[in-house]
Structure 1
């Protein structure tokens, strides 16, 4: 990864005392920005934190010295140094005088977008999200160069603050053959975006910092004309953009829809629901959490629909370590993160065991007057046995306990829905209880329903629970005990494939090739799930194929 920063040219505009301190600093190459505020000590900011550069405070003379050596400050109080990527931003008082400067180091980093090279080749519009300073502009500059030089596309950059291609009339070499259109004032950015399409026949338009409703509308207009868009916007997560009324049009916008009675009952929702208004202007969204850690949403329209419906979201995370890119699939979403932090430890979490004394939330057998139900007695006998906690709603509790006791099932009843692992409810009663459905949705608790509270239906539902939640009874730490790192990696791959593809989607899946001992323990795991599998291929590329029931 090559880095060009032209740091010497930025140091030349600083007062001598500040410049000398930075030139002698051992970490000068990692400098992020210099802050000069009137009456305060000058400060340099590094990845590890800020440091003072001098014991003397910044004076009017120091500010005037720097202002005279930079270009004209535009309407957004930004300026730059010609033929460089550095940005100098000013803070003014009520009279319009400059009382503070932020001198930010601009760097052209080549090789930053190798993680998403395949996404650029799809020719779909890409939106980059992230907090200020995380590297969105650096990434979009490199994207412009790759599209123009390596993919030979006609690229036009809308450079409102001259951050992408630098200050001055001649653009910085970091953008390659891409053309740059400057914007006289930030309020005209949306007009220049439309002008670029109408006058210069671009195949790709690149926009930095889309921040107003007019710019969102212009981006949608450009996308509808068949031009590929690459843009950035502030926001850490895609769901925060969906909830932003100014920028939500970038991902399709949202609107309230009133459902009919029958449709609301079928969906199990209220009559007024949020739905996506139109197709997104950007088909791909990328959350830049760190410079080498990006989250990819390859189908924005599907992700937005899942966010609005409150469904579980799975995202693709790409990380770069040197020249190696690793791709993983994981659960995401703000609601999911908060749930993981607050949810009580489940009775079937790996390594969890019941105490010999049950907590108060386990139901008692009121008919017999005993302090423990048949289920509790079984728990007391074997304190190491693990149980699935059920919250019953609208059911005959005596019949439910009778089935559990008769079949000797590893189940227990809970008085509190928040501590339950699953909910078993009578369908007619559940339709009338929106609050219970909302709690289950928020806490990600699965709801099982039956038509009538009869022994056959209760028995069938309980067996189905145990079949689906059988993975809960694995002591994963014990399962991996004595295994090598390669064998544990093979086990985790098989577990993820079974849960997310074979069981969830009812589709067969092929695992990666591995050695015979790793395939053997993968076969053992498949048998635990009551699934079928067979080995395919020849050594050393022999692998497992798992089939749904």
Structure 2
């Protein structure tokens, strides 16, 4: 176990505060957990600890007190941040419309030696690592320590925007060790300094804090493609957050809608338009800081993104430090078949409650009233009407379902909405029931014939829609079915992709069906990714998107 040592030069920060405010901070007597001191004109000074926020004094902050602090610190850069020479403290300013400073946030900067031991094996692996976490949770502290450790054996360059990592002044803080530091004059120029670092100084590792713009994401990809290890942080808390951020999603490969051939869609058991990873990820490993001493680690970002867009998310590895400083690692469990909904997988085949098998077609054991009888075709069930309610309190047994020609992610989502223990399997040999479409059943596909030979119940749907799937699941688990009012996102995505294709093939414009605001945002994003223009018009509830070329 590595002993952690903390240095914060707190006296240097207290020295620039008005004496009575500095004295109030000292009397609070909790310097180890001090995060920020907030001074806003006309308001009481506040102090922020890891446990919460408290008032320091009853008196309001005056112009003179703000000027007292400003006169004792370095100059404010273009991003309204200043620092103290050879310390890690940061003072950020809030200005009024005339440019006068009316508020200050004084953040305590700390060098924590030993904090990186929880991921030191990853840092020293040579892989590029991206760290996510909410503000103030310790991303920059971890980044600083990583730079110091790596600089003992490698050539490390820190691209230091706002002097966050190496501290204020021309001489970097000792906490970065032998790492070299390149300062960034303006945050908007960070991407240029990143490229300059690679071209001019021959680094083996580049350390970057707060990748937040598209140009910086593009520069990071360029650096990674040149074989330089990247250690960086970005805005966001989880991998899912990053994928939904159009500016930064390229850091983990990005996602795009692609259209599959009929054969490939049938093989995958999905609709023709699916989401896939757009490119290799810039970063190999992604670390989510959940708490100060608890991390979730995606050791293979490419595999994690691929699994996420296919609705089979891979559980991350969890690492945490206990009260005694001991590090614990919980390896991600191996995933083969992922349970959907409320139930868990069972090692033994589960009986289908209330059903019997006959010629591969499921039939109820008890007759139902005519109004509740499902409509039948000669070759299977077309589930159109509500099924009977299950007996109160009866636990639902898991059922392994093999979808053939039916979208797996729709089946999973429908099971989740209904709260039934449907387990989607990838091999027919693992299945206890098969769900397919009427066109496939009538075509007597080989998979259908094999299912009949094995005596599996076969559910036949008229269409590959959420409504039909939910009705099938309700029938299978003997539940009362209430149609979902949720927007059909995947069907809308498919229609939007068709519209995009029409415009790219020469149509002047295509109007899409009226949709909710959330659906329209998705449609605009798909048009943007296709380098097309889109515009919403009309009034709710008939507001719609038009896609066209400029």
Fold agreement, TM-score > 0.5: yes
Give 2:422's aligned residue.
445
Q: Which stretch of the first structure deviates more once superposed, 82-91 or 271-280?
A: 271-280
1:290 maps onto 2:267 in alignment: no
Structure 2 residue aligned with 1:130: 133
Superposed counterparts of 1:221-370, under 5 Å: 221-321=222-322, 322-330=324-332, 365-367=365-367
Aligned residue in 1 for 2:506: none
In structure 2, relative to structure 1, the CA distance for the partners of 1:246 and 1:368 (3 Å cut) is closer
| CA–CA distance in structure 2, aligned partners of residues 269 and 19 of structure 1 | 63
User: d(CA) in 1 for partners of 2:115 and 2:43?
Assistant: 36
Match of 1:61 in 2: 64
Partner of 2:455: 457
* Alpha-carbon offset, residue 121 of structure 1: 2.2
User: Do the aligned partners of 2:270 and 2:408 also contact (CA within 8 Å) in 1?
Assistant: no
Q: Please tell me whether residue 25 in structure 1 is matched to residue 2 in structure 2.
A: no
- Match in the other structure for 1:189: 190
What's the CA shift for 1:437?
5.5
- Give the corresponding residue for 1:118: 121
* Aligned residue in 2 for 1:471: none
Q: Which runs of 5+ in 1 are unaligned?
A: 349-362, 370-392, 398-411, 462-549
Match of 1:161 in 2: 162
Inter-CA distance 435–189: structure 2 relative to 1 (3 Å threshold): closer
User: How far off is 1:25 after superposition?
Assistant: 2.1
- For 2:406, the equivalent position in structure 1 comes to 431
Bigger drift between 40-49 and 320-329 goes to 320-329
Q: Give distance in 2, aligned partners of 1:129 and 1:432.
A: 32
Measured in 1, the distance between the counterparts of 2:69 and 2:407 equals 69
Q: Quote the residue 1:81 is aligned against.
A: 84
Rounded Cα–Cα distance in structure 2 between residues aligned with 1:426 and 1:166: 58
Tell me how far 1:163 sits from its aligned partner. Answer: 0.9
State TM-score, norm by structure 1: 0.67
Structure 2 Cα separation of the partners of residues 433 and 142 of structure 1: 44
Provide the residue aligned with 1:201 in structure 2: 202
The structure with more helix, counted as a fraction of residues = 1
Compute the displacement of 1:459 (Å): 8.9
Distance 1:224 1:158, change over 3 A: same
Secondary structure of the 1:41 match is coil
Contact 1:394 1:426 in 2 (8 A): no
TM-score by length of 2: 0.67
CA-CA distance at 1:455 after TM superposition: 9.1
Contact 1:421 1:446 in 2 (8 A): no
Distance 2:58 2:408 in 1: 67
Q: Is the 8 A contact 1:89 1:103 kept in 2?
A: yes
Aligned position for 1:106: 109
Q: CA deviation at 1:48?
A: 1.6
- In structure 2, the CA distance between the partners of 1:158 and 1:460, relative to structure 1 (3 Å rule), is same
Give the secondary-structure state (helix, strand or coil) at the position aligned to 2:233: strand
Alpha-carbon shift at residue 233 of structure 1 (Å): 0.6
Change (3 A) 1:440 1:459: closer
Distance in 1 between residues matched to 2:368 and 2:23, nearest whole Å: 87
Matches of 2:406 and 2:389 in 1, distance apart?
Answer: 22
CA RMSD in angstroms comes to 3.4
Q: What is the DSSP-based 3-state SS (H/G/I as helix, E as strand, rest coil) of the residue aligned with 2:127?
A: coil
Q: CA deviation at 1:271?
A: 1.1
Distance across 2 between alignment mates of 1:259 and 1:446: 25
Q: Partners in 2 of 1:415 and 1:158 — Cα distance?
A: 64
Q: 1:222 to 1:72 in 2, by over 3 A?
A: same
Q: State the shift of 1:249 in Å.
A: 0.9
Q: Which whole-Å CA distance do the structure 2 matches of 1:49 and 1:258 have between them?
A: 50
Structure 2: state its 5+ residue gaps.
347-362, 370-378, 425-430, 435-447, 460-550
The alpha-carbon distance between structure 1 residues 368 and 164, as it changes in their structure 2 partners (threshold 3 A), is closer
Shift of 1:246: 0.4
Contact persistence 2:270–2:407 (CA under 8 A) = no
**Deviations, residues 490-546 of structure 1 (Å, cap 9, x unaligned):** xxxxxxxxxxxxxxxxxxxxxxxxxxxxxxxxxxxxxxxxxxxxxxxxxxxxxxxxx
Number of equivalent positions = 400
Q: What secondary structure is seen at the aligned counterpart in 2 of 1:40?
A: coil
Supply the distance in 1 between the matched residues of 2:167 and 2:313 (Cα, whole angstroms): 42
Q: Deviations over 1:380-431 (max 9, x none)?
A: xxxxxxxxxxxxx95699xxxxxxxxxxxxxx99599xx8554566967x73
Query: Higher relative CO (CA 8 A, sep ≥ 6), structure 1 or 2?
Result: 2
Counterpart of 2:17 in structure 1 is 14
Bigger mean CA deviation after superposition, 247-256 or 6-15: 247-256
Other structure's SS at 1:314 match = coil
Change in Cα spacing, 1:231 to 1:455, as seen in structure 2 (3 Å) is closer
CA 1:420/1:436 → structure 2, altered by over 3 Å: closer, same or farther?
Answer: farther
Residues 174 and 10 (structure 1), Cα distance of their counterparts in 2 relative to 1, 3 Å cut? same
Equivalent position SS for 1:24:
helix
SS of match in other structure, 1:256? strand
